[in-house]
A and B are shown apart, each in its own frame.
Chain A
Amino acid sequence: GAGVSQSPSNKVTEKGKDVELRCDPISGHTALYWYRQRLGQGLEFLIYFQGNSAPDKSGLPSDRFSAERTGESVSTLTIQRTQQEDSAVYLCASSPPLGLAGGEQYFGPGTRLTVT
C-alpha cells in the first residue's frame, strides 16, 4: 500500500515569507507526527495528532509554527515569517493507534526547507 507522502519535496523561500508543508499519512493510521531534522542532527519532535484528541504541541519552537489536521487524514504544517534557522528537513510520520502493534511510526520522505 501507499506510504506516507509529503509535499513539496523541496522548498526554497525568502526570509519573512510564510510556508505550508503537507503530509498525507497512511490510510487507517490515526496518529500523525511532525519532526524537524537540522543538518547533521537528530530528529526534534514538533507536534502530534491522535484521532480527535487535542494535539500535543509541546515541541513547537515558537508561535510562528502551527499545524492542522483534517480528521484522520491530511495535515499541514505552517511556518509564518520564516527565519534562516528554520532551514531543515521536516518529516512527517504516521502510526496505528497506540497500543496496537506497538505504534511504530512510518516516516515520509520529508520536505527540505531552505530559507534564504
Chain B
Amino acid sequence: AQKVTQAQTEISVVEKEDVTLDCVYETRDTTYYLFWYKQPPSGELVFLIRRNSFDEQNEISGRYSWNFQKSTSSFNFTITASQVVDSAVYFCALRSNTGKLIFGQGTTLQVKP
C-alpha cells in the first residue's frame, strides 16, 4: 500500500524562526516521485518541489530546503527565517507510476509576527 504521513498537524512559530515539516512515505515502487505543495488561505495549491527516487541530493531554493532520505523514507521540508507569508497548509505527496498523487493530511503552519 502507498501512504504519506505528515505527523505534525499544526505548527506555530514566531517570525524568523526556522521550522521543519516532516513527511514519511510508504511505497513498494522502485521508481516514484515526491512533491511538496503549499495551500495558502486563498485555497489554491502551489507546487513547490518535485524529487525523484533516484536523486537523494538535498535541494535549497532561497529560504526553502528539502532533505530526502530513502533509508528512512522521509522527505522533510525546512523553511529558514520564516515569514508571516509562509503561513499556509503544506502537503507532501507521493506519485507512483500510475500517475495519481497520494497526499498526506497536511501540516498547518502559522507564523506569528
Contact = CB atoms under 8 A, between A and B. Distances in A.
A77 interface: no
A59 B100 contact: yes
Contacts, number: 60
Interface stretch (B56-64, B66-74, B75-83, B101-109): B101-109
Interface residues of B, number: 22
A105 B52 contact: no
Q: Is the interface of B mostly helix, strand, loop or mixed?
A: strand
Q: Is the interface of A mostly helix, strand, loop or mixed?
A: strand
Contacts of A45: 100-102
Nearest to B95: A103
Interface residues of A, number: 27
B41 interface: no
- Among B50, B52, B101, chain A packs the most CB atoms within 10 A around the CB of B101
